[in-house]
Amino acid sequence: MPYEKQTASKTIAQKANAYGIRGVLVDGMDVLAVHEVTSDAVDRARRGEGPTLIEAVCYRYGAHATADDARLYRTEQEEVDWRSKDPLSRFRTYLEKRELWGEAAEIALDEEARTRFDAAIGEIESRPVPVRSDIVRHAYAPIPKLVADQLNDLERRAGETLTIFSPDHMWPPLAPDPATGSSNKPITMAETITDALHVAMSEDDSIITLGQDIAQLGGVFRITEGLLDRFSEGRIIDTPVNQSGIVGTAIGMAISGSRVVAEIQFEGFVYPAFDQIASHLGRIRFRTQGHATLPIVVRMPTGAGIGAHEHHCDNPETLFAHLPGLIVVVPSTSFDAKGLLLAALRSDHPVIFLEPKVFYRARREAIPAGSYEIALGKARTRREGTDLTLVTYGGMVPPALAAADDGISVEVIDLRTIYPWDTAAVVASVEKTGRLLAVQEPQRTGGVPAEVAAYVAEAAGYALEAPIRRVGATDAPWPQLAIEEHALIDERQIRSAITETMAG
């Protein structure tokens, strides 16, 4: 792509002005000039004078890639003209004129380089080829049982010996929930999450929180209110309106040793950051074969129910659950929100923490004071039953419970963690009840209930006495403001689905 079709600016270096940093244009084919400007940039950075954007103007003689044909977009004469500026030839001439280089030295150095290169290639080729289980071992630590089971399925179908990971490598057994206890007074979910952040940041000085309007303002929902007063500005940081930058910065900070909480103001604003989340956040551990971990919690409000505008009422949990390397959590109570958030903040996994905004101030709940954890990946049975299993999460838990209280013995399971979800709890319930109804708030296709239904059909299909049913919204953008109710799933619809499932 020609330069003039990419930008209207005369140089790339001048773009640095917009960021308030230094920009330098240099002949990238001149070894000494490049050395000079890069050395100066490093010295400036070490003096605390900020970054430098260096535009080194170069020419690529070869093709861009194997599918590229440079003859289609440049002339032979153009390449001939640039050959006169070849950095190897120019620097060789420079050294020879100062009697610092000669044919004998070049032959000796070339032979040394070939020897070292061949030795390195030989060492690499002598290494054993990674085994199939390494793809799982490098993606997660510890490894969720769900992922280990998926690996074993691949191995079984390939006729290979099944990999049995040691307990040290596996996700620990899911501990029972702590006792509920009580705080001095019932508090909202918003206050609960604030409390969890205070507890975690007090316990661990490496935790840093960053996001849009979270310091001075306390966030649009006031979740981070009071953190700036209690902790330094270096630990509660206001960022520009740049979601990709928020998550990208968090990744860099985590690689250098911090534990980071990155807040996205609304779930519909996370899409600009999706590249950082999909391409880097969930992959860094796999990419480095476990040598780099990202203990990051990306928090955001989620879901509908408050009559909000477009991009303020989405449910992107399934998008995140499909990305390898991430843990995805959606609490439905204040008690769960605090325990799950504290567990997420102490985990070495990157966690997407979705907070149903409809619950922020909808009700108050007495929760334990101080510190406690709820195991990530553990579902909770909200209501015992024997006739039908209803699986849901997040904003759909209250209407599911309301619909279940209708003369039919419905067991309501709140997944809480969307990935990895508690397959054992769901299968055990379905084997007891013989029926499954899965409910979600967002668009139906490709949702969490689809995954639950497929898994149950495989693992407990013979226990089913009726077809599995799902309830979800239409595959259309979420309607805003006063017409939001057209898409909201309520207890009437869930109750109807329960009746249909019971009828077989």
Same domain? For 193 and 168 the reply is: no
Considering the domain boundaries, does residue 372 fall inside one?
A: no
| Known catalytic residue at 312 | yes
pLDDT of residue 445: 96
Same domain? For 21 and 63 the reply is: yes
- CATH assignment of the domain containing 385: 3.40.50.920
* Cα dist from 44 to 14, 22, 32, 77, whole Å: 18, 10, 18, 40
- The residue-averaged pLDDT of 217-223 equals 95
Give residue 53's pLDDT band: very low, low, confident or very high (50, 70, 90): very high
Strand ranges for 327-435 from DSSP E:
327-329, 351-356, 380-383, 388-392, 410-414, 417-419
Segment 332-353, tens digit of pLDDT: 999 999 999 999 999 999 999 9
Same domain? For 209 and 336 the reply is: yes
pLDDT of residue 184: 67
Instruction: Return left, alpha or beta for 446; rule: phi > 0 is left, psi -120 to 50 is alpha, else beta.
Output: left
Same domain? For 444 and 318 the reply is: no
Considering the domain boundaries, does residue 146 fall inside one?
A: yes
Considering the domain boundaries, does residue 128 fall inside one?
A: no
Same domain? For 418 and 312 the reply is: no
Same domain? For 200 and 349 the reply is: yes
Considering the domain boundaries, does residue 92 fall inside one?
A: no
Q: Is the pLDDT of residue 256 over 90?
A: yes
Give residue 469's pLDDT band: very low, low, confident or very high (50, 70, 90): very high
Same domain? For 316 and 427 the reply is: no
Q: Is the pLDDT of residue 139 over 80?
A: yes
- CATH assignment of the domain containing 310: 3.40.50.970
Q: 167 preceded by cis ω (within 30°)?
A: no
pLDDT of residue 129: 87
Q: Is the pLDDT of residue 85 over 70?
A: yes
Percent above pLDDT 90 for the chain = 88
Supply the mean pLDDT for the chain.
95
Domain holding 153, by residue range, is 136-173
Considering the domain boundaries, does residue 162 fall inside one?
A: yes
Segment 64-79, tens digit of pLDDT: 888 888 888 889 899 9
CB burial class (10 A; 0-12, 13-18, 19+) of residue 439?
Answer: buried
pLDDT of residue 183: 64
Same domain? For 295 and 324 the reply is: yes
Buried b or exposed e, range 81-110, using 16+ CB within 10 angstroms: eeeeeebeebeeeeeeeeeebeeeeeeeee
pLDDT of residue 71: 85
pLDDT of residue 67: 87
Listed residues 66, 85, 104: the one ending a domain: 85
pLDDT of residue 267: 96
Catalytic one among 35, 291, 312, 349? 312
CB burial class (10 A; 0-12, 13-18, 19+) of residue 460?
Answer: buried
pLDDT of residue 180: 78
Q: Which residues pair with 296 in a beta bridge?
A: 260
Same domain? For 305 and 389 the reply is: no
Same domain? For 237 and 341 the reply is: yes
Segment 271-326, tens digit of pLDDT: 999 999 999 999 999 999 999 999 999 999 999 999 998 999 999 999 999 999 99
Considering the domain boundaries, does residue 112 fall inside one?
A: no
Segment 151-163, tens digit of pLDDT: 999 999 999 999 9
Segment 14-46, tens digit of pLDDT: 999 999 999 999 999 999 999 999 999 999 999
Residue 339, both tokens: 């325990």
Give residue 6's pLDDT band: very low, low, confident or very high (50, 70, 90): confident
Do residues 288 and 141 touch, judged by C-beta distance below 8 A? no
- The residue-averaged pLDDT of 50-71 equals 91
Percent above pLDDT 70 for the chain = 99
Same domain? For 343 and 211 the reply is: yes
Number of domains in the chain: 4
Considering the domain boundaries, does residue 364 fall inside one?
A: no
Do residues 262 and 246 touch, judged by C-beta distance below 8 A? yes
Considering the domain boundaries, does residue 447 fall inside one?
A: yes
Same domain? For 385 and 439 the reply is: yes
Do residues 431 and 449 touch, judged by C-beta distance below 8 A? no
